[in-house]
């Protein structure tokens, strides 16, 4: 076997497992939902990694881009029967457009990073209110997407499984994007900006342009996911603009490992499963308990292992692949 293939082998095994898992859970609806949720967050967090981990911006607007994607795709479907396959892309583009709008003034050279973080946090809040007030498209009641037993056109299925595979595909694409960005010009530029913005600029790195590229890629992915999200849930509602989801995604990104490709995936596997387990056992009364735990995990990681837990995985991975290559 070629050495390159050997390195990829464990990854392929993982992929096969990921592909087979839902089939092993056909009878357990709960596990399927859990799996789909985990993979949804893993994808969001991996996309977040592009602007957060590599771009160094603490984005708190995942919910904003998700919601925009959901509303775009959902509204197109509900009103004009346009397939979500197009709707998703439209959703992604609208989300990216918003991202451009917010990021353009804030990524100017020498504007402090904290302003983007604050703006993004506020964006979610504001979009929620705006869509609540916007009766034609949003409003306080759920807008339902017509139900279909199995429709590829409407992206509506009775089971969670097709959604799982769709999101899995998006996850793989997102991870591939992560990998590609980080090993090429944009990744180097973002890394340099993070290390020393002034030095990077005088070496020809356009700070604003680079950060905007990263932001828009992330927002696009989140928007596309939003389109899937709407079909998954079967309705759209301004609560999709959720500050909580935004926080969770950012936490997964940070805990996973700032800049490490598979970190957020690992973090999602652990934290999101943990959250669902907690919810199942403790119930609605103590909903906020998981947030308390998330917050504590975030603070602990930031204080004691700011590189995130993903780096542990990376070291283990390297040991594994070099051993395999040696054999």
Partner 1 sequence: METVVQNMINGIMMGCIYGLIALGLSMIFGVMNIVNFAHGDFVMLSMYFTFWVSSLMSVDTVATIAFTLPLLFIFGILTYYLIIHKTLRQKYITQIAVTVGLMTLLRALAQLIWKARPRALPDSIVRGTIVLGQYTVMLSRLSSALVSIAAILLVSLFMAKTWPGRAIRATSDDLDAASLMGVNYKWTFALAFGLGSALTAIAGAMLMTFQQVDPTMGLRFGLLSFCILALAGLGSTVGLLISGIIVGIAESLAMGLWDPRARSLVIYVIFVLVLWLRPRGLFGRK
Partner 2 sequence: MQDQPLLAVQHLTKSFGSLIAVNDVSFMIHRGEVLGLIGPNGAGKTTLFNSVTGLYKPDEGEVRFKDHDITGIEPYRICKLGMSRTFQVSRAFPTMTVAEAVRVGAYNRHEEKEVEEQVHKMLAFFQLEKFAGQKCEDLGLALLRRVEIARAVATEPELLLLDESAAGLNATELGELMDMLKRLRTDRNITLCIVEHVMKMVMGICDRIVVLDYGELIAEGNPEEISSNERVIEAYLGKRALQ
For partner 1, the binding residues (CB under 8 A) are 52, 56-58, 60, 102, 105-106, 108, 111-115, 117-119, 121-123, 125-126, 129-130, 132-133, 194, 243, 247, 250-251, 254, 258, 286-289, 291-292, 294-296, 298-299, 302-303, 306
The alpha carbon dihedral of 140, 295, 63, 83 has a sign of negative
By beta-carbon proximity to partner 1, the closer residue of 39 and 60 is: 60
| Residue tagged 């909903």 (tokens) | 287
Least distance CB 258 / partner 2 (angstroms): 11
Binding track over 291-320 against partner 2, x by CB under 8 A: ------------------------------
How many angstroms separate the CA atoms of 183 and 211, rounded?
Answer: 16
Residue 144's H or E segment, with its range, is strand 143-144
Of 19-27, 97-105, 184-192, 221-229, the window that binds partner 2 (rule: CB under 8 A) is: 184-192
Q: Which two tokens stand for residue 203?
A: 């070496």
For the CB of residue 184, give the shortest distance to partner 2 in the complex, in Å.
Answer: 6
Binding site partner of 169, from partner 2, partner 1, none, Cβ cut-off 5-8 A by kind: none
Residue from 319, 315, 318 nearest 305 by CA: 315
Contact 172/15 with Cβ under 8 angstroms? Answer: yes
Partner from partner 2, partner 1, none contacting 188, C-beta within 5 to 8 A by type: partner 2
Residues facing 235 on adjacent strands = 144
The least distance separating partner 2 from the CB of residue 203, rounded to whole angstroms, comes to: 5
Nearest alpha carbon to residue 42 among 212, 268, 227, 223: 268
Per CB under 8 A, the list member of 1, 23, 202, 303 interacting with partner 2 is 202
Give the HSE-up count for residue 102: Cα atoms under 13 Å, Cβ half-sphere: 28
Residue 112 within binding range of partner 2, rule CB under 8 A: no
Q: How far is CA 191 from CA 57, 200, 210, 254, in A?
A: 12, 9, 10, 16
Q: Site residues (CB under 8 A) for partner 2?
A: 109, 184-185, 188-189, 191-192, 194-196, 198-207
């Amino acid at each position: 076997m070629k050495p390159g293939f050997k390195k990829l082998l464990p990854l392929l095994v993982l992929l096969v497992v990921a592909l087979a898992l839902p089939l092993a859970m056909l009878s357990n609806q709960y596990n399927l939902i859990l799996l789909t949720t985990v993979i949804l967050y893993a994808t969001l967090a991996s996309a977040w990694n592009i602007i957060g981990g590599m771009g160094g911006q603490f984005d708190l607007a995942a919910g904003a881009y998700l919601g925009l994607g959901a509303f775009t795709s959902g509204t197109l479907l509900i009103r004009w029967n346009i397939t979500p396959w197009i709707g998703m892309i439209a959703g992604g583009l609208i989300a990216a457009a918003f991202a451009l709008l917010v990021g353009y003034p804030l990524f100017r050279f020498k504007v402090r990073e904290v302003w983007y973080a604050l703006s993004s946090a506020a964006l979610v809040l504001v979009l929620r209110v705006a869509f609540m007030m916007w009766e034609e498209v949003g409003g306080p009641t759920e807008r339902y997407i017509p139900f279909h037993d199995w429709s590829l056109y409407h992206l509506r299925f009775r089971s969670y499984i097709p959604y799982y595979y769709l999101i899995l595909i998006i996850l793989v694409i997102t991870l591939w994007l992560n990998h590609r960005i980080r090993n090429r010009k944009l990744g180097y530029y973002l890394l340099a900006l993070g290390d020393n913005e002034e030095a990077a600029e005088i070496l020809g790195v356009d700070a604003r342009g680079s950060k905007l590229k990263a932001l828009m890629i992330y927002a696009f992915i989140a928007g596309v996911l939003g389109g899937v999200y709407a079909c998954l849930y079967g309705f759209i509602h301004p609560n999709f603009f959720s500050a909580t989801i935004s926080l969770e995604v950012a936490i997964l990104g940070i805990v996973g490992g700032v800049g490490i490709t598979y970190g957020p995936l690992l973090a999602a596997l652990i934290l999101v499963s943990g959250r669902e387990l907690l919810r199942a056992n403790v119930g609605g009364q103590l909903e906020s308990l998981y947030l308390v735990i998330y917050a504590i995990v975030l603070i602990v990681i930031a204080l004691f292992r700011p590189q995130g837990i993903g780096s542990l995985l990376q070291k283990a991975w390297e040991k594994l692949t070099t051993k395999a290559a040696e054999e």
